[in-house]
Amino acid sequence: MIMFASESSSGDFGDYNILTLLAWDTKTHELKHQRVLTSEGDELRFNNLDSVDLVCDRYSILTNGTLAAANRIDGILYVIDIRTGVLLHEIAPPQRLQSQNGQYEIRFTENYVYYILTPFGNADFPAKIFVYGKDNWTKLAEIELRGALGDMVSYKSELGLTGFAANPDMTWD
C-alpha cells in the first residue's frame, strides 16, 4: 500500500512542507518511509500555500507498480519512482489557474488520467475535464461542462468532485 504525507519544516526562507512517501509491505508488515527527492537529490519541497492532494489510490500507481502520482490542487502532478523515492516528472496542468479562482482534482483509471477543473465564483471560465493517456501523457480530449452539469460543478468550492468516477471500460483512443 502506498501513501503520501507531508512533513512541515522551517528553513532560511520560511516554512515549507516536504513530500514523503510511505509504503506498507503487506507481506513483511514493514513500513518504508522516505522523503521524495528531486533528480538532483534535493528534498521535494513546496510552500504551505501549495496544498498537495495526498490521495494515492490503486489507479494512481503507474507502470506495473513502480511509479506513483501525487498532485497539488493547482493541478501540478508529481510522478515518483516508489522504489527510489525520486521525482521523475513534474507535469504542469492543462490550464493555469490564478489564485483562488478554481482548483483541479485528478482522477486515475487503468488507462487514463482525468484533470477535473472546477471554477470558483470569481472565475471567467467553465468547468472542464481534460483526458490524458496514462502511458505517454498525451491529451486525448477536453470536455467543457456547460448547462446544468456545468452549473452543478462550477462555483461550488465547498462541494468538490469527490464522486467523479470515469467508466473504466470507456476508451478515448
For 93-105, the pLDDT digits (tens) are 887 776 667 777 7
Would you say 168 and 140 are in contact if contact means Cβ atoms under 8 Å apart? no
| Half-sphere exposure of residue 90: CA atoms within 13 angstroms, side-chain side | 12
38 pLDDT above the threshold of 70? yes
- Predicted pLDDT of residue 78: 82
What is the widest separation between alpha-carbon atoms in the chain?
52
What average pLDDT is seen over the chain?
Answer: 73
**pLDDT tens per residue across span 72-124:** 767 778 888 888 888 888 888 887 776 667 777 777 777 888 888 888 776 77
pTM for the complete prediction? 0.64
Neighbours of 26 (CB within 10 A): 7
How far apart CA 121 and CA 115 sit, in angstroms, is 20
Amino acid at 33: H
What is the model's pLDDT at position 30? Answer: 87
> How many whole angstroms separate alpha carbon 7 and alpha carbon 102?
25
6 versus 49: the higher-pLDDT residue is 6
Which range, of 62-71, 118-127, 142-151, averages the lowest pLDDT?
62-71
Domain boundaries, the chain: 1-92, 95-159
pLDDT at position 35 over 80: yes
